[in-house]
Amino acid sequence: MSLAALSLAALVLALVVSCVSPINIGVLAIVLAWVVGVYFGGMRVEQVLAGFPVPLFLTLAGVTLMFAQAQGNGTLDRVAQRAVRMCRGIAGVIPMMFFVMTAALSSSGPGNIAATALMAPLGMAAAGRYGIPPFLMAMMIAMGASAGSVSPIAPTGIIVNQLVAKMGLPDARWTIYANNLLAHALVGFSGYLLLGGARLLGSAGARMPAFAAAPAGRFADMTVATDAAPVTPAGTRSEPFDWRHRFTLVMIAALIVGAVAFNLNVGMGAFAGALLLTLTRAADERAAFKSMPWNVIVMVTGVTTLVALLEKTGGMELFTTFLSNLSTPATVTAVTAFFTGAVSIYSSTTGVVLPAFLPIAPRLVEHIGGSTAMAVVSSMVVGGHLVDVSPLSTLGALCLAAAPAGSDTRRLFNQLLAWGLSMTIVAALVCWVMFGLL
């Protein structure tokens, strides 16, 4: 077996084990990267460790620390109370509101990862307080972030448009953005309503539903029970803000403004905000460190390390060859969406999948005919982003990291993974209709 095939097999093994075992996939992925890279590939340990995503680690650590402080001192709970009051006590409106807010923030410049990092703690806190299923809230936040991810002023949109320009294709930055936004809105709101959102919309006031107890990892588990216990109604008096909460909100607002207006690194800005909260004694740093989701951080960074090895050994090229052999003029949009989605489940859409797949679009269309390069590009963009709710992707991991206290995070992990996997099929169908038939 070639080194490329072996590294790809290692990644498949890690994914399978993560579905059937409580082992942290990040730990397993790091060990597999070490074994395959050093003992089968003849690499130095330093070469394998070069794939460890230091910027991603710092972003996750900084943001989760700052928002753990905001959660610990009660700021997020108070914000969640007021956000729910805006929705007039209808629990089902709250996740939809967060979809719109996250999509707007993602589109405005910081991109999908930063938008999710900023909005997930707020949304998941609201879900925990008002009995909204964590899965539904996580899905809407992550889908909203992906909906705005290819805005011409967002990082992913800039990368996509630069790649398209190098292909010699006409400027279609707003078309690509609109296509991606429309696809995510259609799939996100449809999935939300089918998996429990419609029932939440019919439950207002003191009868806000809670998550139904059921075995994890099946789509049936994502629905919402109608016989839920009542929780605090949105119309009750909200807890007041004191100076600690106001200062914490100032730090959060400064981070958002810095990311949107001044291209501030979100991770570094979050560390600075956390330091100021500690120095002013507005939050307890020790308690925040203890509540940080270290298992999720290891999970995401470990898988990214293994994916980096896959790139070095040529495993990604196996997908490209396979893709060209499977496509036909009638199915090229569906096939490209499916495979970009399949890779994006465990890899970075922005950093790995789109740079690897988009350049082959003109050659693929030239080889098989019957389509346009822009249709294939849009299919790759939509397919790569629809699956990013998966906890193996950064967006899903950030939502998982922000899960409210007392949540069954293993169950939430399985639900997000099931949704992400299903999106490979959904993306294929949506792209076949939007960019093939229409």
| pTM value surpassing 0.85 | no
Q: In sequence order, what are the residues at sequence separation of 6 or more whose Cβ sits closer than 8 angstroms to the Cβ of residue 213?
A: none
pLDDT, mean of residues 155-174: 81
pLDDT at 178: 94
Q: In sequence order, what are the residues at sequence separation of 6 or more whose Cβ sits closer than 8 angstroms to the Cβ of residue 257?
A: none
| Nearest residue to 339 (alpha-carbon basis) of 361, 323, 328, 317 | 323
Tokens of 243: 């100076």
Question: What is the tens place of the pLDDT at every residue in 414-436?
Answer: 999 899 999 999 999 999 999 98
Q: How confident is the model at residue 101 (pLDDT cuts 50, 70, 90)?
A: confident
- CA dist list (Å): 22 to 18, 38, 158, 278: 7, 26, 38, 35
Backbone φ/ψ region at 218: left (φ over 0), alpha (ψ -120 to 50), beta: beta
- Strand-pairing partners, residue 224, are 211
